[in-house]
Amino acid sequence: MRNVPHENPSGTAAAADTAPNKDLEGHKLLMLVPWDPPAGYVEGLRKTFPGLEVAHANWDTWKEGALPGHLTDEDWANVTILLTGPKFPTREAAPKLRLVQLQSAGANYVLDNPLFKDTDVAFCTANGIHGPQIAEWIVCTYLAFQHNIPRFLDNMKEHKWERSWDDSDTQDAVKQRVGILGYGSIGRQVARVATAMGMVIYAYTNRPRPTPESRRDHSYVVPGLGDPEGTLPSRWFSGTEPHEVHEFLSAKLDLLVLAVPLTPQTRGLIGAPQLDALRAAGPGRTFLCNVGRGPVVDTAALIAALDAGHVRGAALDVTDPEPLPVDHPLWDAKNLIVTPHVSGNSNGYNQRLLAVLDINLHRLSEGKGFMNRVSKKRGY
């Protein structure tokens, strides 16, 4: 059915389908990334896995329209592990390929690729590496709005000193209610930061999480961060039916965080009926942050809700369409902050990505299931 949320469960390792190979003898890793590996990284891999061949091609698969032309058929023939973005070889070109480690947390761009659909090649996301920076973006935009920072920045450009003596014009975070739709790695880090500010956490997952074990996070977690044990939410909501989503949105949320992947089920998840549920729970109460994908939200319905004051405001790092055309009416919606899909940017990104790759190399060597493997059934 449509319009129901599915949080990313890909941290749960898939069942092992290989025999242990401690040295990764016979394996070849091709790192297809637009940066050079850190000093000593490749040497460290070769020391840990003496049988592993490592190759690197400095190539931006997000910007380039094809795979690098300088890689020959011979270069691809023995590749068994590929670190890449949204560009892939055919099965015929890379017949020995076993594992594709994606650079992104989202996997919607692989779902229709024959290498994913029609083979047993494991595709694994970088789920977990975005939590710190995206959580900072969410809290940053929310607090900026609450403390009227956009208005003061505009005043500064005009050299205008406009002091307010009215305490009622600023709502601090204490006891504010955060509803996190998609309690994955990003949502869990939001919960950690928000809890430190005195906020109350409500979590929504597609499957019930009634036990401590069911609430644990098995995806990659930056050490010391997130909510690995799932202890921070004061309430858990779950379900795959529209009325269950409605119940969550009716819980008088002050901040609604959308952190779900884009799937056929989540496309249009937040539309006019859902925004009306937020209005009914408290007109002008909820501030909405979308860091998932633009099509999760019905853009026209959001514009209408913002302009009518049905929601308090919104911060969008993703839009539909994207890039947002210069003449699109979303730019002029009331109480809106838009950034151009940059919330995941971080100078720690590559280091965390390699940490996920390292984990999966170790699991391959041990004959264990991979971390963050994309499910063909769920599509994430």
Give tens-digit pLDDT for 61-118.
999 999 999 999 999 999 999 999 999 999 999 999 999 999 998 888 999 999 999 9
Give tens-digit pLDDT for 314-325.
999 999 999 999
pLDDT at 89: 97
pLDDT at 291: 97
Residue 264 pLDDT grade (very low, low, confident, very high; cuts 50, 70, 90): confident
Residue 164 pLDDT grade (very low, low, confident, very high; cuts 50, 70, 90): confident
For 35, half-sphere exposure in the C-beta direction (CA atoms, 13 angstrom radius) is 12
Residue 168 pLDDT grade (very low, low, confident, very high; cuts 50, 70, 90): confident
pLDDT at 159 over 50: yes
pLDDT at 2: 33
Give tens-digit pLDDT for 323-360.
999 999 999 999 999 999 999 999 999 999 999 999 99
For 119, half-sphere exposure in the C-beta direction (CA atoms, 13 angstrom radius) is 19
Higher pLDDT: 343 or 261? It is: 343
pLDDT at 17: 55
For 212, half-sphere exposure in the C-beta direction (CA atoms, 13 angstrom radius) is 2
- Alpha carbon distance, N-terminus to C-terminus of the chain: 16
Give tens-digit pLDDT for 8-64.
444 444 445 578 999 999 999 999 999 999 999 999 999 999 999 999 999 999 999
pLDDT at 194 over 60: yes
Average pLDDT of the chain?
A: 94
